[in-house]
Structure 1
Amino acid sequence: MKNSKSVVFKRQQYILKALKESKDVQVDDLAQQLKVSPTTIRRDLQIFEEKSIVNRFHGGARLLEGTLKEDPPLDTLSPKNISQKNAIAKYAADLIEDGDTIFMNSSSTTLLLLKYIKNKRVIIVTNNGSAVGTEKDPRVELILTGGEVYERKQSMVGEFALHTLSKITADKAFIGVGGISVKGGITTSVLQETAVNEMMLKRCQGPCFVLATTSKIGREHNFLSGSINKITTIITGKDADHDELLRLKEQGLEIIELDTLADAADS
Structure 2
Amino acid sequence: MLNMERHKIIMGLLKRKGTVKLKELMEVSSSSESTIRRDLAELEDLGALKRVHGGAILSQARTIEMSMVEKSVRNVQEKKRIARLAASLIMDGDCVFLDAGSTTFEVIECLVGRDITVVTNGLMHVEELVSMDLNAYILGGKMKAKTKAVIGGIALDNIMNYRFDKAFIGANGVHIVDGYTTPDMEEALLKRKAMELSDECFIVADSSKLHQSHFAKMFNLEAAVWITDAVDEEEKRSIMKKTSIMEVSV
In the superposition, the TM-score normalised over structure 1's length comes to: 0.66
Counterpart for residue 22 of structure 1: none
In 2: Cα distance, 1:67 partner to 1:120 partner: 38
Q: C-alpha deviations, 1:114-150, integer Å up to 9, x for none?
A: 1111332111111111113326674521110111111
1:229 maps to 2:222: yes
1:193 maps to 2:183: no
Counterpart for residue 246 of structure 2: 256
Question: 1:88 and 1:181, CA in 2 relative to 1: closer, same or farther beyond 3 A?
Answer: same
Counterpart for residue 67 of structure 1: 62
In 2: Cα distance, 1:168 partner to 1:133 partner: 20
Question: 1:94 and 1:137, CA in 2 relative to 1: closer, same or farther beyond 3 A?
Answer: farther
Residue 143 of structure 1 aligns to which amino acid in structure 2?
Answer: Y
Greater alpha carbon shift after TM alignment, 99-108 vs 136-145:
136-145
Residue 196 of structure 1 aligns to which amino acid in structure 2?
Answer: L
Counterpart for residue 3 of structure 1: none
1:97 maps to 2:91: yes
In 2: Cα distance, 1:122 partner to 1:162 partner: 22
Counterpart for residue 245 of structure 1: 236
Secondary structure in 1 aligned to 2:78?
helix
Q: 1:131 aligns with which of 125, 130, 134?
A: 125
Counterpart for residue 205 of structure 2: 212
Counterpart for residue 12 of structure 1: none
1:159 maps to 2:153: yes
Secondary structure in 1 aligned to 2:79?
helix
Q: How does 1:31-180 map to 2 (within 5 A)?
A: 66-71=61-66, 73-74=68-69, 81-134=75-128, 138=132, 140-180=134-174
Structure 1 gaps, min length 5: 1-64, 263-267
Identity across the alignment (%) = 25
In 2: Cα distance, 1:145 partner to 1:248 partner: 33
Structure 2 gaps, min length 5: 1-59
How many residues get paired? 192
In 1: Cα distance, 2:217 partner to 2:109 partner: 29
In 1: Cα distance, 2:167 partner to 2:129 partner: 20
For residue 224 of structure 1, report the CA deviation from its aligned partner.
Answer: 0.6
Q: C-alpha deviations, 1:26-60, integer Å up to 9, x for none?
A: xxxxxxxxxxxxxxxxxxxxxxxxxxxxxxxxxxx
Residue 239 of structure 2 aligns to which amino acid in structure 1?
Answer: L
Question: 1:135 and 1:104, CA in 2 relative to 1: closer, same or farther beyond 3 A?
Answer: closer
Question: 1:187 and 1:227, CA in 2 relative to 1: closer, same or farther beyond 3 A?
Answer: same
Question: 1:244 and 1:223, CA in 2 relative to 1: closer, same or farther beyond 3 A?
Answer: farther
Question: 1:117 and 1:162, CA in 2 relative to 1: closer, same or farther beyond 3 A?
Answer: same
In 1: Cα distance, 2:73 partner to 2:149 partner: 23
For residue 236 of structure 1, report the CA deviation from its aligned partner.
Answer: 0.7
Secondary structure in 1 aligned to 2:198?
coil
